[in-house]
Structure 1
Amino acid sequence: MHAIAISRAGGPEVLEWREVPDPRPAPGEVLIEVAAAGLNRADLLQRQGFYPPPPGASDVLGMECSGVVTEVGADVEGFSPGDEVCALLAGGGYAEKVAVPWEQVLPVPDGVSLVEAAALPEVACTVWSNVFMVGRLRRGETLLVHGGASGIGTFALQLAKAFGSRVVVTAGSAEKAARCLELGADEAINYREEDFAAKVQADVILDIIGAKYLPGNIAALAIGGRLVVIGLQGGTKGELDLGALLAKRASVYGTTLRGRPVAEKGVIVRGVRENVWPLVSSGAVRPVVHAVVPMAEAARAHRTLESGEHIGKVLLAR
């Protein structure tokens, strides 16, 4: 088959569309003929040599895809050849075929095209596991989402609104802030012009920045608030004011998704299918797609993501 392969770490120019061995489904896995794959920040880090795949995972980039099941291994439950699906991957999505544990596979929701579905698995599983399972966001509470115009941000704000929460986002431009408001955010803060910590008291904060935002995030937490850090775009080491944390009876969580065992991912995927997919099928929550780029032109897609000018997801399509 063909896949996007990397011979060395570097810029987008190292991404090459070339022949690689076909994957085969092991027991408990399904083989998917890929229609589209979603881009994630982690893909950029892996390309640069900073985020290797977990042991045993494909070294081909791509942590989510959509497509059609062509083969199932032994002990697979609920999926058959011909099913249109999308899947959460540990790697391997930038390819014509990928093998994935059946527990990480989801049916394509009603009303979503096969290509659009590639925009869903990573963001849906990330938001559900972090905002709702870890952060325990409840109806009527306030969620602060950093990077509200990102793939994760656009999904998080829609899902939280659908569950009856107030949503505040940060964004880096007036255009992005306006788009977040169109998607349902109650307030959008331009972080280049305003101090988010002075404007909001949040019960849950979903943070992709890390160290740079740590003091501001603690200041922005309400009493009993929960800060969930899922990205480190602003660095790995910051100063934590434990006095402020104790005074607010607040909590700080750090989580990742890619390296978790299949059983843990399966729990998250089942939660998404039960609680999130009905909202997607009803149209209350929709994938936001900025661009669809031919898979062989993955370098162009990476440059788009690196520019930071996108709103929503960037996809690769076969």
Structure 2
Amino acid sequence: MMKIKHLAIACIAAFGGMTAAQASDFSNTFYGEGQGQVVWQSGKDFQTEAQLAKAGASGMYATDSIKVKYEIEAQYSDNFSDKGLNDLEVNIARALLITDYGVLVVGNGYSGVYGDIYKRVDVHQSNNNELASRNKMLWEQAAYSTNILAYATPSINIGSGKAKFVASIVTPKDDNGTNDDIVTARVVYNSSTLNTSAAYVRVNKAYPAVEKENHYERYSLGADYKMGNLTLAGMIEINENAFNKSEDTYVGAVKYGYEQFDFAVSYQHKTYEDEYNDDTQSLIIGSVNYHHTESLSFYVEGAVYGDEPATFGDDYSEDSLSIGLRFRI
């Protein structure tokens, strides 16, 4: 059986090879981004690194009744090897079928749960949930998913905003005897000032290398509110039967824009299942981002971790200070 990601790439190739007669219905955009930084990290030598370089393309083919969109992106990072990845990874390769009856998504790309719930509190340039980040965030949700099959309902008007429902099946493994490794469902509400979403994720007990006794279930809720140049955001993650015994994570973030500057502060607090000890973990991040032009920005960012729980021995990275630049073309 062809994997979903292969189907997505085949769709991209098919629409990329359309004839000139169809060109008026087809639009395409290419882009590139790069981020380099100097890092001082506790327990490690001073580093200069190409944290992230990426190039991608997206396009849309439209008819009177349907639209087909494709997205593909390749990424390079000096930090990928620390996570057991290749130096060059294709993290996005997906196709979206858009109709009046909703949107169907197949392929690899950003996790919808991450994008709709977690991204609102993931507000920093260097320390974030990207695979290229040297430090790890405390929540359990990954930024990217592999082999996605998702459906989103049409949006409906509610008050001054719009709401939709999204469900997905994600199958990163094709040899563990289950076709529903990860099942998700979420409801999303967006307006000009208030955005909020709630999600449910179930990870099959057969997904880990050694099968567990129960399925792992995750509930998350996020919201943000905009007041002029100020954005307040919060997120709650509740885990049941987590494979690493993580319990709950609470995150708050504040972002403020002033002329060419963005100021951001976030705080994360995580708890673990332990009947004997109050095992918790914390992380605070602060950053200042200066937009020199629309294409070039500079940032200074610091991250401070609380003591990690010795009971579980998780590697939550180290305190760090980063100075870097980011450019877009």
Same fold, judged at TM 0.5 (above): no
Tell me which protein shows more helix as a share of its residues.
1
Rg: which structure is higher? 2
TM-score (norm 1): 0.25
Tell me which protein shows more strand as a share of its residues.
2
